Amino acid sequence: MTRAGKNRKNNGSKNNNDKGLAPGLASSAELTSAQEAEHEDRGGVVAGRARQGMFNVRGSGDTSGYGGLVLPAYVPPPAQRPYGGGFDELTDELLDAMHERGVPAEAIQQVTVDRGEITYYVRREHLVALCRTLRDDSALRFELCSGVSGVDYGSEVVQRLHSVYHLMSMTYRRRIRLEVAVDVDDAHVPSVVEVYPTADWHERETWDMYGIVYDGHPALTRILMPDDWDGHPQRKDYPLGGIPVEYKGAEIPPPDERRAYS
Amino acid sequence: MARRKNRGVKHRNTKPRDAKPNDAKPNAAEPAHTVGSGTTDSATATDSGVSDPYAATSRETTEGRVYTVTGGDWDDVLDDWRHDERIVVNMGPQHPSTHGVLRLVLELEGEAVTQARSVIGYLHTGIEKNCEYRTWTQGVTFVTRADYLSPLFNETAYCLATEKLLGITAPRRAQVMRVLLMELNRIGSHLVAIATGGMELGALTGMTSGFREREEVLHLLEFLTGLRMNHGFIRPGGVAQDLPEGYDTKVRDFIKVMDSRLPDYDWLLTGQPIWKKRLCNVAYLPLDGCLQLGVTGPILRSAGLEWDLRKVEPYCGYEEYDFEVPTSTDADGYARYVLRVEEIHQSLKIVAQCLDKLEPGPVMVEDGKIAWPAKLSIGADGMGNSLEHVRKIMGQSMEALIHHFKLVTEGFAVPPGQAYSAVESPRGELACHAVSDGGTRPLRVHLRDPSFVNLQSLPAMCEGGLVADVIAAVASIDPVIGGVDR
C-alpha cells in the first residue's frame, strides 16, 4: 500500500472515532505474516486475499519494488471488550440465550466489530440452532432475515467461501451479521430455511453463484442460471468472459484481462 | 372403477409426452390433450385386461395416421371433467401481464390455482460479477441498471456502503440532492407500478395516465442529472455534479403539475367499482406471512406494520424531513395501491422540503484522492471534462495530469472489510453488501433487492385463489425483473 493509502486509512479511522464509535473499531492495520500464521493456528477467519504489487507486475524483472510487493490477506481482527455501540449488551443477551437453549458458546468462532457493524463468525454445526435462538429469544427477536449471500475470497485463501446472513431485529432495531466460512472442497452449510423461510431463494442463489450446498434446503436448484449450467459463475476462478474490442486500431482486452492495479 | 382410479393417477403423475410411442391414443400425439380431456387411456385398459369399447383406434393411411375417436359414457366424461381438470399453464416469460420477463408456472384446477411457482433468471446480466472487475466508481454504472425503475436507489445504497467502507460522509448538499432525486425516482416508480398494474387488470386509462405522469418525472430527472434512466449520478463521496441553473423553478413546476393531476387517479381508480372488485381481498398476505418471507415495502405496510427505513434507520438526513408513513391493515392488493398513491403525495412533500434545504456548498467530499478531479461541462461534442481542467492538466501541471490519470484508470483504494447499508426503495429494503480486500476494485458487491425477496411471496398470495387474481397479485407485488435477476 502506498503512503497515501496509509494516510487515508488513518484518516478513515479517525472519522470513525469522530462518529462516536469505541476505539479499536476501525479496520486494523495489516497483520504481519507471523501474526497471520498464529491467527490461522487459532482457527481464525481470513476475509481478504493476498494482493500482489501495486501494478500487478509478475516475472518482468521489475526492481522498483512494485512488482515484488505482496500484501498479506486481510484478517478481520477479533473485537475486544468493550465493543461499544450497544454490542456488549447484545452479545451478553445472545450468550445467555445460547446457554439457556443448550447451544455451546464455541458456536461463535469469533466476534468482529468494524465500521459500526458486528459480525459473528459461526461454526456451521450450530448455525440453525443459533438462528432459532436469535429469532425466538425475547431479548433478541431477530425476526427478519434480510438476506443470505456468498463471498468468495479467492483460490489461495483457506476457507475461501463464506455464507453471510444479515439479520434484523425489528423490535430492537438492530442488525447483525452471521458469517460461516467453509472450504471449497467441503462447501456444505446447513440450510436456515426452516427458521427463516425467506432464505429459500437466497440460498438457491448462493448455491447457483458460489456452489455452497445448503443441506436440508427443500429444493436446492439453480435459480438465476439455466438448470444445465456448468460451474458457479461468481467464484473468483470462474472467468468473467468477454471479447477484445478494436477501437481506432488499438485492441482493448476484455475486462477480466485488463491490467489490475491492486 | 379400478380403471378410473388408475387413469386419475396416471394423469396426475405423468406428463403426456411420457406416454409410449406406440400408444395408439390421441393423447400421445396431440398436445391439445395435455389438458386431460375425456379420452380413454389404452395403457390402463390393457393393464386391467378389459378391452374398452370406447377406446379410440387408429389406422395408417397414405395421408398419415388417422384416429377414430368414438363417444363414451357420459359418466366417464363428467368424471374426467370434474376430477381431472388439472392444467399446468406456463405464463411468460414473454407475457405482457407478468411484469417483464417473469415466468409463472401455474397448476390450475378449473379456474382455481392450486400451485404457483415463479421462474426467474431470464434477465440475469451478472451485474454483481461485473462490479468485481471495475473500480469502485465504475460500479455505480452497473448497479444502477439492476432495478431499472429505481436506479437512484441502487446508486445510493451502493455509495452508502462504499462510503461506510471508506469512513467518509457525503457533504450536506449532496445528501439533500440524493434525497431530492430519490423521492422523484420513487414517484416515477410508483407511477409505473400503478400504470402497469392498471394495464394488467384492464384499466388502460390508468396505464396511459401513469406513463404520462412518469414522463414528467423522467423529463425532470433528465434535466437534473443528464439522463432519464440509469443515471450513474450518485457517486461514492457525493454526486457527479451540482444541480443545473433553474432547477428550483423546474422542480416547483413539477410539483404543481403533479398536485393538479394526482386527484385524477382517485377519480380514475381509487373509487372505481371494477378496480375495487379486482383488488379488494385479493393477494392477501398478513403480517406474519410478510415477516416469514422477508417481505418489506408497501406490502409489509399494507399488513399494518409501520416499517420504513427512512424513519427507523434514517440515512441521508431523512430524520430532518416531515412526512408520514401511510399504513393499512387490509393486507390486500387494493391497500397496496392506495398506499402507493399516498406515498407519491408524501414524496412530493419531501421534494418541496428538499428545495428549501438546498444551501450552496460542495457536492463531493474534499478529499482529492476520492473526488473526481474534473468538473463536467457541455462542449460542442457533448458532455465531458471541462476545457479549463483539460488546459490545466495538459499545459500547466504534470502532477495534476498524473493524479487525474491514476484516479480515473486505477481508482481509489478502499480499506479492507465489509459493510451493509440499506435504503427504503419504492419496493422495500434495498441493501448493498460490499466487501473490500483493500484494493481499488470491490471484492464482492451484493444487492439485496426487494423485488427478489418479495416475489417469493407470490405462491402465498395466490394459491387457492383464481387465475385472474394471480395477475392482480403480481401487479400488487410490483417486481422489477432487472432487480430480481441482476
Residue B49: is its pLDDT beyond 80?
A: no
Q: How far apart are CA B322 and CA A151, in angstroms?
A: 39
A153 contacts in chain B (CB < 8 Å): 437, 443
Residue-level pLDDT at A23: 35
Smallest Cβ–Cβ distance between A74 and the set B132, B134, B437 belongs to B437
Nearest CA in chain B to A146: B294
The H or E element spanning position B446 is strand B444-448
> A9, exposed or middle or buried, with CB in 10 Å at 0-12, 13-18, 19+?
buried
pLDDT at B25: 41
CB B465 within 8 A of CB B282: yes
Q: How far apart are CA B63 and CA B65, in angstroms?
A: 7
| A115 close to A77: Cβ distance less than 8 angstroms | no
Read off the C-alpha cell for B227.
439522463
> What per-residue confidence (pLDDT) applies to B309?
93
pLDDT at B438: 82
pLDDT at B375: 76
Instruction: State the average pLDDT over residues A155-174.
Output: 90
* Ranges of H-type helices in chain A: 3-18, 33-41, 87-100, 127-136, 199-210
**Helix H or strand E encompassing B88:** strand B86-91
Contact B4, B54 (CB under 8 A): no
Residue B37 in this model has a pLDDT that exceeds 60 = no
Non-local (6+) Cβ contacts of B275 within 8 A are B201, B203, B206, B269, B334, B337
What distance in Å separates the CA atoms of residue A178 and residue A162, rounded to the nearest whole number?
A: 10
Whether residues A262 and B416 touch (CB distance < 8 A) is answered with no
Measured between CB atoms, which of B133, B305, B419 is closest to A117? B419
3-state secondary structure of A178: strand
As a whole number, mean pLDDT of residues A128-142 equals 91
* Mean pLDDT for the stretch of residues B191-196: 92
Distance CA A161, CA A75 (A): 14
| CB-CB contact of A151 with A178 (8 Å) | no
Question: What is the torsion angle, in degrees rounded to the nearest 10, for the CA atoms of residue B30, residue B34, residue B37 and residue B42?
Answer: 70
| Residue B104 grid coordinates | 409463472
pLDDT at A12: 35
Contacts 24+ apart (CB under 8 A), A86-92: A86/A174, A87/A113, A87/A118, A90/A118, A90/A140, A90/A174, A90/A176, A91/A118
Mean pLDDT of chain B: 83
Give Cβ neighbours of residue B74 (< 8 Å, ≥ 6 apart): none
- Mean pLDDT computed over B320-327: 92
pLDDT of B44 strictly over 60: no
Residues of B in contact with A194 (CB under 8 A): none
Which of B10-14, B52-56, B165-169, B287-291 is the least confident region? Answer: B10-14
Longest dimension (CA), chain B: 100
Strands in B444-448's sheet, in edge-to-edge order, are: B417-425, B428-436, B444-448
Would you call B292 and A198 a contact, using CB atoms and an 8 Å cutoff? Answer: yes
What confidence category does residue B354 fall into, taking pLDDT thresholds of 50, 70 and 90? very high
Q: What pLDDT was estimated at residue B8? A: 36
Mean pLDDT for chain A overall: 78
Q: Which residues in chain B have Cβ-Cβ distances shorter than 8 Å to A73?
A: 437
Provide the percentage of residues in chain B whose pLDDT is more than 90: 46
Bond from prior residue into B93 cis (ω within 30 degrees of 0): yes
- For residue A66, what is the enclosing H or E element? none
**Chain A hits for B165, Cβ within 8 Å:** 115
Give the tens place of pLDDT for each residue, A82-125: 888 889 899 999 999 999 988 888 888 889 998 889 999 999 89
Residue pair B425/B147 in contact (Cβ under 8 Å)? The answer is yes
pTM, whole model, 2 decimals?
Answer: 0.80
Report the largest interatomic distance among the alpha carbons of chain A, rounded to a whole angstrom. 70
A236 vs A72, higher pLDDT: A236
State residue B22's pLDDT score.
Answer: 43
What is the per-residue pLDDT for A6? Answer: 37
Question: Would you call B443 and A8 a contact, using CB atoms and an 8 Å cutoff?
Answer: no
Which one of A116, A143, A198 has the shortest CB-CB distance to B453?
A198
Alpha carbon of B437 to those of A161, B184, B443: distances in Å? 14, 35, 6
Residue A4 corresponds to which cell in the numbers above?
497515501
Binary contact (B418, A11; C-beta < 8 A): no
Q: Report whether the peptide linkage leading into residue A82 is cis, meaning its omega lies within 30 degrees of zero.
A: yes
Chain B, window 3-22: residues with a beta carbon less than 8 angstroms from a chain A beta carbon: none
- B440 chain-A contacts, CB cut-off 8 A: 261-262
From residue B72, give the alpha-carbon distance in Å to each of A153, B39, B56.
Answer: 67, 8, 10
Does A88 or A24 have the greater pLDDT score?
A88
Q: Is the dihedral of CA B394, B396, B398, B400 positive or negative?
A: negative
Which one, of B176, B128, B158, B183, lies nearest residue B236 by Cα?
B158
> Which among A61-75, B153-167, B190-204 has the top mean pLDDT?
B153-167
pLDDT at A22: 35
Label residue B26 by pLDDT band (50, 70, 90). very low
Q: Strand ranges (DSSP E) for B298-427? A: 376-379, 382-385, 417-425
Chain B residues inside the 8 Å CB shell of A5? 413
pLDDT attached to residue A68: 56
Task: Compute the average pLDDT of residues B106-120.
Answer: 88
B483/A55 Cα distance (integer angstroms): 35
Segment B445-474, tens digit of pLDDT:
999 999 999 999 999 999 888 988 998 999
- pLDDT score, position B419: 94
The whole-number average pLDDT for the span B274-279 is 90
Residues 441-470 of B with CB under 8 A from A: 441, 443-444, 446, 448, 452-453, 455-456
Per-window interface: B 398-427 vs A, CB < 8 A = 409-413, 415-420, 422
Identify the weakest region by mean pLDDT among A48-52, B116-120, B395-399: A48-52
What pLDDT score was predicted for residue B136? 92
A227: pLDDT strictly greater than 50: yes
User: Which residue did the predictor score with more confidence, A42 or B367?
Assistant: B367
- In total, the C-beta contacts within 8 angstroms joining chain A to chain B are 158
Selected residue with higher pLDDT from B244 and B82: B244
- The Cα–Cα gap between B252 and A146 comes to 37
Question: Is B417 in contact with A76 (Cβ distance < 8 A)?
Answer: yes
C-alpha cell at A43: 482457527
Q: Do A153 and B437 touch (CB under 8 A)?
A: yes
Residue B201: its pLDDT value, please?
87
- The answer to whether residue B35 scores a pLDDT higher than 50 is no
Select the residue of A1, A49, A223 nearest B413 (Cβ to Cβ).
A1
Give the mean model confidence (pLDDT) for residues A231-251.
89
CA distance B56 to B37: 13
Q: What is the pLDDT of residue A232?
A: 93
What proportion of chain B, given as a percentage, has pLDDT over 70? 85
Q: Give the highest mean pLDDT range of A72-86, B15-29, B47-61, B294-308.
A: B294-308
Here the cell at position B44 is 390402463
